Amino acid sequence: MLESSVLSGVQKGQLAINAGYLFIFLATFILFQFLSQEQEAQAAEENLGAAKDRKASNALVRISRFFNRYFLSWVRGRSYWDGHRASYRRKLIASGLREEFNPDEFIAFKFFMVFFFPVAGIFLTLSDVYRFEGNTLLLSAAGGWFYPDLWMRGRITQRQRQVRRSMPFIVDLLALSTEAGLDFVGSIGKVVEKARPSPLVEELDQVLKEIKVGSSRADALREMSSRLDMPEINSFVAILISADQMGAPIGRTLRQQSDQIRTQRFLAAEKAGAAAAQKLLIPTILFILPAVLLMIMGPIIVQYVQGGGR
């Protein structure tokens, strides 16, 4: 009876693995059904010169670019993805990935990851590097769908950190340029030309391009604030627009903003230092304090034991 139940469990496990493999096979079959349709569209784009070499953040993006053109048939022109397109368009700009993906391509990249994770798991299993069960492979497909969003969120956080680090220096350059006699647009151009490349410089370059094509200075700055979505940039842009509308000197406003930003950075550093001291308290109590007590009390305990407890 016990042996039959064990065999039944093994059979069920094998059935689950076979079901996972069947799912991968069916998904791959459906994928290549779209191959011929999308291949014609891609060939037409290449003939027209629309397909160009673009940046790739890592090897995975470079590999996916060949397959994404086939997944695009599931996304392109479908109204279901309209809401996602608007959200991903702004996130791609905020994360600095707008030169690598458009919204449709990013959604296609998510579909690619749904297939890539299980296929990679099957390859590792067949190579005896690591054995994945069928249920794990199915869960990895779900993880593949959410992985691009987590990756993009990390890029946004990293980019915002770089903007905060470079902001005081950039604002100082803007203040010096305006105090030297340049107008605000000319100061932005000088900063873009002379400053070290950074996400904030890229955003100022975009502001300059929008102004040159006819956008107002206030609207271009608001768009930059919306793209970065940072409290520091929002406050900076609001003060600049207000000073411009009231006719206040831009150079003096920028100098005040520079001093305020440096003060905020100093306060943030003090706050981080206080938080670090609190975090160090637990490992100090758990590891360092017992070692110190052992060093102090150890000789006393040894003498007590050797003395027979006297």
Please write the tens of the pLDDT for every residue from 16-27: 565 566 566 656
Which residues are CB-neighbours of 67 under 8 A, at least 6 positions away? 112
Is 300 among the domain residues? no
Number of H helices and E strands in the chain, helices first, is 12, 0
* Radius of gyration of the CA atoms of the chain, in A: 29
Count of beta carbons in the 10 Å neighbourhood of residue 154? 11
What pLDDT was estimated at residue 40? 46
Q: What is the CATH number of the domain that holds 229?
A: 1.20.81
29-43, 243-257, 258-272: lowest mean pLDDT where?
Answer: 29-43
Is 41 among the domain residues? yes
Answer whether 96's CB lies under 8 Å from 162's CB: no
Give CA–CA dist 78/103, Å, rounded.
12
25-34, 81-90, 260-269: lowest mean pLDDT where?
Answer: 25-34
User: Structure pTM?
Assistant: 0.67
What pLDDT was estimated at residue 14? 60
More confident residue, 209 or 302: 209
Residue 40 vs residues 43, 102, 151: alpha-carbon distances, Å? 5, 20, 31
User: What are the tokens at 226?
Assistant: 């919306």
User: What are the tokens at 207?
Assistant: 């502001």
What's the pLDDT tens digit per position in 147-169? 999 999 999 999 988 888 888 88
Q: Are residues 21 and 144 in the same domain?
A: yes
Is 91 among the domain residues? yes
Burial per residue of 107-128, b for 16 or more beta-carbon CB atoms within 10 angstroms, e otherwise: bbbbbbbbbbbbbebbeebeee
What's the pLDDT tens digit per position in 7-65? 455 554 564 565 566 566 656 655 555 554 555 455 444 433 444 456 777 778 888 88
What pLDDT was estimated at residue 13? 56
Count of beta carbons in the 10 Å neighbourhood of residue 156? 20
Q: Are residues 252 and 121 in the same domain?
A: no
State the residue range of the domain holding 25.
2-160
For Cα atoms 179, 236, 227, give the angle at the middle one, nearest 5 degrees: 120
Answer whether 118's CB lies under 8 Å from 142's CB: no
Is 179 among the domain residues? yes
Residue 11 vs residues 8, 14, 211: alpha-carbon distances, Å? 5, 5, 68
Average per-residue pLDDT for the chain: 77
Look at the chain and count its residues. 310
What's the pLDDT tens digit per position in 132-152? 777 887 888 888 899 999 999
The average pLDDT across 197-211 equals: 88
Q: How confident is the model at residue 230 (pLDDT cuts 50, 70, 90)?
A: confident
Is 286 among the domain residues? no
Domain termination site, one of 231, 248, 264: 264
Q: Are residues 153 and 234 in the same domain?
A: no
